[in-house]
């Protein structure tokens, strides 16, 4: 164990690492590891690389938290922010007032959305966008005389955020420590065929079973009590889990039959991560609304958005008119600097070669993952576009995972970090979601470093 953890913490109480531990809290961090290794304090970035306080360079195989798709020093994005700070550095979207940048961003979002028409509501994060969406549905259904139509369905391993409502949607066991989920949040099957398919069950049969279980749940809960099913096109923080074949085609008619909205949480998938602009386009389904964040500003500003298709936007508008207003909003909703950055980010992704590079890099990414999947301790390599994962297993034939005490994915990520590569452990998987600006050479560097780390860790633990 000790030999793996070569980056040891700096004991000097004035070190950046010690200072970080004294007054800052980490989110989602394995604290015993930090106690041992020390934090990594980042000062700046260059393209897809970041640098720590000691000058060590890391290739960030996770593009920050999936979001820094244009890299860490994109001149156009920084210039757009500076120009808007000079012009008008802050405003809100309350009381019938909003910035010109906000108006233009909403027009652009509807233009690039799969919807012919619709409306956009802005938040500061993806979590708040999911909260906002749920409140909108509660508000709308109550105004329409259906106050009982409140339940929200999400899938096990789905990640939708951390606020009380969005954490209730996030179907991960760690939320039990908060006494969540709240009442009325229902978690159904995870459509991961490799892990949850039964012996002898074909992928098509698995998909049908997922759809049947959904319909059974709807019937037993009461269709009139269910407002929406919210789903990531590809589950991201659940460990990059693409749906089983035909999944959305199987569930969408069931939701339509019972008048249940289908919401695509595109916080990760949106703006090119899976190849097309939206993940729902990659899987050919038609959501009633889209939740966006992360790539929306290429990570250069905290912003989320609920993008309502025409049906929901008309109904929510009517509900708001019936009580005079939609009593909801954040101080920084539609912040002009965030909107100016988002307008630039959308242009950079769609028109300055980034989304094209996702398409060009995807075969190389898939080939790199497939090569690593030959390792006897990798049970599955899975990906869509530039999001992928490798699932570590103790026994490939039986798909038996390593025990939690082995801490394998954490060790792989730590060893990668020693080699100058940032990647993320998620359960037993290692997740990669490189920036859209990566070159072929940087992609090779990513896989070389990961290969070295996997070989080292599996040699130790097997
Ligand atoms: N939805 C999805 C699919 C996400 O991946 C995330 C964050 O990773 C969120 C929502 C929450 O976004 P935020 O962290 O900005 O609150």
Q: In order along the chain (462 residues), what is the average pLDDT of each group of 10 residues?
A: 46 88 92 87 98 97 98 98 98 97 98 98 98 98 98 98 98 97 98 98 98 98 98 98 98 98 98 98 98 98 98 98 96 98 98 98 98 98 98 96 92 97 95 98 98 97 86
- Distance of CA 408 to CAs 272, 413, 441, 462, Å? 31, 9, 28, 10
Contact 333, 65 (CB under 8 A): no
**Cα–chain-centroid distance for residue 417?**
22
- The confidence score (pLDDT) of residue 3 equals 36
- What pLDDT does residue 12 have? 86
At 37 the pLDDT is 87
Ligand 1 near 267 CB (within 6 A): yes
Alpha-carbon gap, residue 247 to 197, rounded angstroms: 13
CA distance 84 to 202: 54
| pTM of the complete model | 0.97
Cis-peptide, bond into residue 233, ω within 30° of zero? no
* Residue 20 CB neighbour total at 10 angstroms: 17
pLDDT for residue 10? 64
Which residues, including other chains, have CB under 8 Å from residue 55's CB and lie 6 or more apart? Answer: none
Q: Is 412 helix (H, G, I), strand (E, B) or coil?
A: helix
- Torsion angles phi and psi, residue 201, rounded to 5: -85, 125
Q: Whose CA is nearest to atom 10 of ligand 1?
A: 160
Q: What is the pLDDT of residue 33?
A: 83
Question: What's the CA angle centered on 415, arms 414 and 420, to 5 degrees?
Answer: 95
Pocket test for ligand 1, best of 165, 294, 303 (most atoms within 8 A of CB): 294
237 lines ligand 1 (CB under 6 A): yes
DSSP assignment letter at 182: P
Q: Collapse the DSSP code of 179 into the 3-class scheme (helix H, G, I; strand E, B; otherwise coil) and give the result.
A: coil
Q: Are 168 and 182 in contact (CB under 8 A)?
A: yes
CB 158 within 8 A of CB 231: yes
293 touches ligand 1 (CB under 6 Å): yes
Q: Is 216 exposed, middle or buried (0-12, 13-18, 19+ CB in 10 A)?
A: exposed
Q: Which residues of 184-209 are buried (b: 16+ CB within 10 A; e: fewer)?
A: bbbbbbbbbbebbbeeeeeeeebbeb
Which residue's alpha carbon is nearest to atom 1 within ligand 1? Answer: 160
Q: What is the pLDDT of residue 401?
A: 95
User: Does ligand 1 lie within 6 Å of residue 382's CB atom?
Assistant: no
Residues 6+ apart with CB under 8 A from 456: 4, 415
Identify which of 155, 292, 293, 300 to mutate to test ligand 1's pocket (most ligand atoms within 8 A of the CB). 293
> Is 61 near ligand 1, meaning CB less than 6 Å away?
no
- Atom 12 of ligand 1: nearest residue by CA position: 126
Residue 8: per-residue pLDDT: 56
């Amino acid at each position: 164990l000790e030999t793996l953890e070569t980056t040891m913490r700096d004991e000097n109480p004035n070190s950046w690492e010690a200072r970080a531990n004294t007054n800052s809290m980490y989110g989602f961090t394995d604290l015993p590891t930090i106690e041992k290794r020390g934090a990594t304090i980042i000062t700046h970035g260059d393209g897809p690389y970041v640098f720590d306080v000691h000058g060590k360079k890391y290739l960030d195989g996770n593009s920050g938290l999936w979001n820094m798709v244009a890299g860490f020093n994109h001149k156009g994005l920084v210039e757009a922010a500076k120009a808007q700070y000079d012009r008008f550095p802050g405003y809100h979207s309350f009381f019938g007032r909003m910035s010109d940048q906000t108006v233009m961003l909403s027009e652009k979002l509807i233009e690039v959305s799969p919807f012919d028409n619709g409306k956009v509501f802005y938040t500061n994060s993806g979590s708040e966008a999911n909260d906002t969406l749920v409140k909108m549905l509660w508000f709308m259904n109550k105004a329409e005389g259906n106050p009982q139509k409140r339940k929200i369905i999400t899938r096990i391993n789905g990640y939708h955020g951390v606020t009380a409502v969005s954490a209730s949607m996030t179907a991960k066991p760690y939320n039990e420590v908060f006494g969540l989920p709240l009442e009325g949040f229902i978690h159904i099957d995870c459509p991961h065929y490799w892990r949850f398919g039964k012996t002898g069950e074909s992928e098509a049969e698995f998909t049908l079973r997922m759809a049947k279980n959904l319909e059974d749940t709807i019937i037993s809960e009461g269709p009139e009590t269910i407002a929406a099913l919210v789903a990531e096109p590809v589950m991201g923080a659940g460990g990059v889990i693409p749906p089983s074949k035909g999944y959305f085609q199987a569930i969408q008619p069931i939701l339509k039959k019972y008048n249940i909205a289908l919401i695509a949480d595109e916080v990760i998938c949106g703006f090119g991560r899976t190849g097309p602009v939206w993940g729902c386009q990659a899987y050919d389904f038609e959501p009633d609304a889209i939740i966006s964040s992360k790539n929306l500003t290429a990570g250069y500003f905290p912003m989320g958005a609920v993008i309502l298709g025409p049906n929901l936007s008309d109904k929510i508008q009517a509900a708001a008119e019936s009580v005079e207003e939609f009593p909801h909003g954040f101080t920084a909703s539609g912040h002009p600097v965030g909107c100016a950055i988002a307008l630039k980010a959308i242009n950079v992704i769609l028109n300055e070669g980034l989304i094209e590079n996702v398409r060009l890099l995807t075969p190389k990414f898939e080939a790199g993952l497939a090569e690593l999947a030959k390792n006897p301790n990798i049970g599955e390599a899975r990906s869509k576009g530039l999001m992928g994962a490798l699932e570590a297993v103790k026994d490939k034939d039986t798909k038996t995972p390593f025990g939690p005490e082995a801490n394998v994915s954490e060790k792989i990520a730590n060893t990668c970090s020693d080699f100058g590569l940032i990647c993320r452990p998620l359960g037993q998987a290692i997740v990669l979601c490189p920036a859209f600006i990566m070159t072929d050479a940087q992609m090779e560097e990513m896989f070389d470093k990961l290969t070295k780390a996997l070989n080292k860790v599996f040699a130790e633990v097997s």
